[in-house]
Amino acid sequence: MIHSTRISRRGTLKSAAALTALGTLCFPAISRAQADTVKIGHLTPRTGFLGPLGEYAVMAADLAVEEINARGGVLGRKIDLIKEDSVNPQTASVKAERLIERDKVACIVGEISSAACLTIAQVAQRTKNLYVNTGGNSDALRGSNCNKYMFHVESQNSMYVKTVGRSLLANNLVKDKKWYSLTADYAFGHDLLRVAKRFMEGNGGQFAADELVPTDVADFSAFLLKIRNAKPDLVVSNLAGNQITNFLKQYSEFGLTFPVAGFGFDTAVAWGAGKGNFFGIWPLVWHHLIDTPGSKAFVAAFTKKYGKPPENQAWGDYISMHIIAKSMNDIKSIEAVKLIEHWEKGAKFDLLKTREGYFRAYDHQLMHEMYAVEALKANELKNQWDIYKPSPPVPGPNEPLEAIAATPEENACKMSA
Amino acid sequence: MSALFLQQVLNGLLDGVYYLLIALGLSLIFSLGGIVNLAHGAFYAIGAYLTVVLARFIDFGGALVVAPVGVALIGIVIERFLFRRFYREDPILSLLLTFGLALVAEQTLRIIFGAPPLSFAIPQALRGQVFIGDFIYSFYRTILLAIAVGCIVGLWFLLHRTAFGRVVRAGVQNPDMVGALGISLEPYMAAVAGLGIGLAGLAGVLLAPIYSIHPAMGQEIITPAFVVVVIGGLGSFWGVVVAALLVGLAKGLMVAAGYAQFSTAAIYGLMLLVLLFRPRGLFGERIQRFE
């Protein structure tokens, strides 16, 4: 029996709004840290449109810590990884502060959203703690927003653009060609669009159009109709996370045949697109087909633990944990200032690739090899994971690693102490 | 009017139909029980995940029938054991309940299937495009549209041309009077929850082949659907229909005009405008207990 309680529409709407706001906060993590451990904070989006990638980051960080602890940990102490969902830039900042002030972590690792990287970096700078960015791409983080306490294992947008750019130049898709670009409407996308434009204009291409796509857009049909009408020579994706999956699925649904390339990419979003829905040329910092003993061992360990191969975001968090642990052991200190000094001096690291890498002192960007991958056709697929054909490492063996990175002129960084 | 613009208008309207599948159930459950079902998007997500699982055994066609029914059954169970306790309570409690349900459902999907999107594509037989002159549309979406419109028309008949519908509509207007006439609304409420939630499940099935299937997919659709309900007005079937089409159109036209970055904001602007001039929504009826 339903009785008529007095429910005001306005009251209900207000409550709904309040609850939605509540949803953007999150629940505190339970930390079970002990005094004889080295605590490291891991912050990355585990919900929202970047959540799928965050999941790989967390799995990989867990695996790395397991390996490090099995080999004796850091300076005889075990690593205690305190993991949090960073949710959004504001929450990321609050949680970073809590990790540093309450949990007293030695450093913070992680993140994917460039906007959240910035707020975490500000906390790190204020509290003089170390932050290692494993997934935020924007050049501005290494340029106008660079700071002494932030290091970047993730590649900057310029490196992504120049890596794929080489394939596009080789395929004659730049000079005198019309590009139609779709860009994620937040810090990462805006930054990538700026870098992509610089590359395109520098090489004689032009835009048919560039569109900013809100991050919560799931339906691309209106864009696809416009693209079809504009008849571009190349469709460029500056999208992020789930956006790319939606775009790929619907692009093939509408049967568009213009070549596609992306300047930002994560393998997980293509794995999630479904058979026959992946095409184009895309850049990666790492992929599971790299033929080096280190990468093979990582893929094997990850697959054994989680039942599926790791993707590029997993590499970022995995290798960051190993870089941090090794450096702490090498310099026999867990202090941020000492680590920063060590890295700024150009310490080299095994990155599971053919060449060792190092942090560039002027902007703290990790110098390392990247890859362009080209989607295989549906009839060339042997399994659900190996969906692309990778290029050899970029830059090539005879070039300096800095060849694909932004120059100080392109992306000036004044490191404030 | 250019051909492209006309295409965008049509595409926007068709887009609205997807919101409609979600919004109609949301509106029904709100109108009859006074419950704002914030978990409605979660049922849409469950529908999509069920489709991926079921399609392995009974193909997409089978999943199209079984998955919405499965989701509807979950809805009936939730109505029977949870919603029913809250019809007479302060609405903030049912808001908390459904908000919690949405979180639990999303996290459960994440635990079972993982956060990365599940791989799923349009069945081979339903691929391809339809061309009418220069107008292009995906063949799959025409099927989707036909099914969705069929369901909406069916729902209208159920609500406006059957004894069942008369009781439900009377219950929306004046539940006490329905009770005084000796009719218990409980089974009707269960049926309405099953129907509404089943429709959300159906939307999940229909959109699984073309949208990214991930645990938070429900959040993507619940907010626009909620906006549709508010714009349409309570208790009005056609209000919700018109509102859904308007919301689809507003988003589509923003993209068409080259202001894609404001396409999400546009629907809130539309809501604001409608509420300024018609606080009960476009065709909202005056319902005593909601005033």
Please tell me whether residues A169 and A122 are part of one structural domain. no
Question: Complex ipTM, two decimals?
Answer: 0.91
- Given CB atoms, is A9 within the 8 Å cutoff of chain B? yes
DSSP one-letter code for B174 = -
**A253 contacts B138? CB cut-off 8 A:** yes
Nearest to A316 by CA among A155, A192, A164: A155
- Given CB atoms, is A72 within the 8 Å cutoff of chain B? no
Mutation target among B212, B222, B268 for the A interface, most CBs of A within 10 A: B212
Assess whether pLDDT exceeds 50 at residue B250.
Answer: yes
**B90 contacts A253? CB cut-off 8 A:** no
Q: Confirm whether A400 is domain-assigned.
A: yes
Residue of B nearest to A384 (CA): B119
Average pLDDT of each block of 10 consecutive residues along chain A (417 residues)? 50 54 45 71 90 93 97 94 94 96 95 95 96 95 94 96 95 94 93 93 92 91 93 95 93 94 93 90 96 97 96 97 97 95 96 96 96 93 93 94 93 82
**B175 contacts A4? CB cut-off 8 A:** yes
Please tell me whether residues A295 and A184 are part of one structural domain. no
Residue B274 amino acid letter: V
Please tell me whether residues A252 and A314 are part of one structural domain. no
Please tell me whether residues A221 and A270 are part of one structural domain. yes
Question: Which residues of chain A does B35 touch, with a Cβ-Cβ cutoff of 8 Å?
Answer: none
Distances (CA, A) of B250 to A83, B118, B203: 41, 30, 21
A vs B: CB pairs below 8 A: 198
Q: Confirm whether A337 is domain-assigned.
A: yes
Q: Which of B88, B91, B140 sits opposite A11 (nearest CB)?
A: B91
Please tell me whether residues A117 and A188 are part of one structural domain. no
Q: Confirm whether A350 is domain-assigned.
A: yes
Residues 6+ apart with CB under 8 A from B65: none
More confident residue, B169 or A285: A285
Distances (CA, A) of A22 to A111, A115, A119, A144, B147: 22, 21, 20, 33, 36
Please tell me whether residues A128 and A242 are part of one structural domain. no
Min distance A408 CA to chain B CA atoms (Å) = 31
DSSP one-letter code for B84 = G
User: Could you give the number of structural domains in chain A?
Assistant: 2
> What is the pLDDT, as a whole number, of residue B287?
66
Question: In angstroms, how far apart are the furthest CA atoms of chain A?
Answer: 80
Residue of A nearest to B6 (CA): A225
Question: Which residues of chain B does A253 touch, with a Cβ-Cβ cutoff of 8 Å?
Answer: 122, 127, 138, 140-141, 209-210
Mutation target among A24, A86, A223, A253 for the B interface, most CBs of B within 10 A: A253
> What is the pLDDT, as a whole number, of residue A2?
47
> What is the pLDDT, as a whole number, of residue A97?
96
Q: Give pLDDT tens digits for B65-78.
A: 999 999 999 999 99
> What is the pLDDT, as a whole number, of residue A5?
47
Please tell me whether residues A250 and A399 are part of one structural domain. yes
Mean pLDDT over each residue of chain B, to the nearest integer: 91
Please tell me whether residues A263 and A135 are part of one structural domain. no
Please tell me whether residues A247 and A386 are part of one structural domain. yes
Q: Confirm whether A409 is domain-assigned.
A: no
- Given CB atoms, is A382 within the 8 Å cutoff of chain B? no
Burial bucket for residue B96 (CB in 10 Å: 0-12, 13-18, 19+) = middle
The residue segments making up the domain with residue A241 are 158-284+370-404
**B215 contacts A55? CB cut-off 8 A:** no
Min distance A89 CA to chain B CA atoms (Å) = 18
Residues 6+ apart with CB under 8 A from A161: A192, A195, A196, A199, A263, A283
- Given CB atoms, is A21 within the 8 Å cutoff of chain B? no
Window 192-221 of A: residues touching B by CB (8 A cutoff) are: 209, 211-214, 216-219, 221
Q: Which of A2, A214, A384 sits opposite B175 (nearest CB)?
A: A2
Q: Confirm whether A163 is domain-assigned.
A: yes
> What is the pLDDT, as a whole number, of residue A18?
55
Assess whether pLDDT exceeds 90 at residue B6.
Answer: no
Separation CA B281–CA B237 (nearest Å) = 12
Question: Which residues of chain B does A275 touch, with a Cβ-Cβ cutoff of 8 Å?
Answer: 119, 121
The phi, psi pair for A397, rounded to 5°, reads: -60, -25
Question: Which residues of chain B does A49 touch, with a Cβ-Cβ cutoff of 8 Å?
Answer: 216
Domain boundary among A322, A351, A367: A367
Question: Which residues of chain A does B288 touch, with a Cβ-Cβ cutoff of 8 Å?
Answer: 4
Q: Confirm whether A355 is domain-assigned.
A: yes
More confident residue, A22 or B250: B250
Query: For residue B94, how many other CB atoms are within 10 A of its CB?
Result: 25
Full set of structural domains in chain B with CATH: 3-115+124-290 (1.10.3470)
> What is the pLDDT, as a whole number, of residue A417?
58
Nearest to A227 by CA among A258, A199, A201: A258
**Mean pLDDT across B49-69:** 95
Please tell me whether residues A105 and A146 are part of one structural domain. yes
CATH number for the domain that contains residue A355: 3.40.50.2300
**B4 contacts A229? CB cut-off 8 A:** yes
Burial bucket for residue B276 (CB in 10 Å: 0-12, 13-18, 19+) = exposed
Q: Confirm whether A316 is domain-assigned.
A: yes
Question: Which residues of chain A does B230 touch, with a Cβ-Cβ cutoff of 8 Å?
Answer: 13
Window 329-368 of A: residues touching B by CB (8 A cutoff) are: none
Residue of A nearest to B123 (CA): A275
- Ranking A260-269, A284-293, B29-38, B204-213 by mean pLDDT, the lowest is B29-38
> What is the pLDDT, as a whole number, of residue B3?
79
> What is the pLDDT, as a whole number, of residue A12?
54
Three-class DSSP category at B118: strand
Q: Confirm whether A379 is domain-assigned.
A: yes
**B213 contacts A272? CB cut-off 8 A:** yes
Min distance A231 CA to chain B CA atoms (Å) = 13
Separation CA A315–CA A82 (nearest Å) = 19
Mutation target among A220, A225, A306, A379 for the B interface, most CBs of B within 10 A: A225
Please tell me whether residues A169 and A272 are part of one structural domain. yes
Residue B139 amino acid letter: F
Containing B263, the helix (H) or strand (E) segment is helix B263-277
More confident residue, A62 or B283: A62
Please tell me whether residues A66 and A148 are part of one structural domain. yes
Express as a percent the part of chain B with pLDDT over 90. Answer: 65
Nearest to B202 by CA among B127, B146, B264: B146
Compute CA B76 distance to the chain's CA centroid, rounded to the nearest angstrom: 16
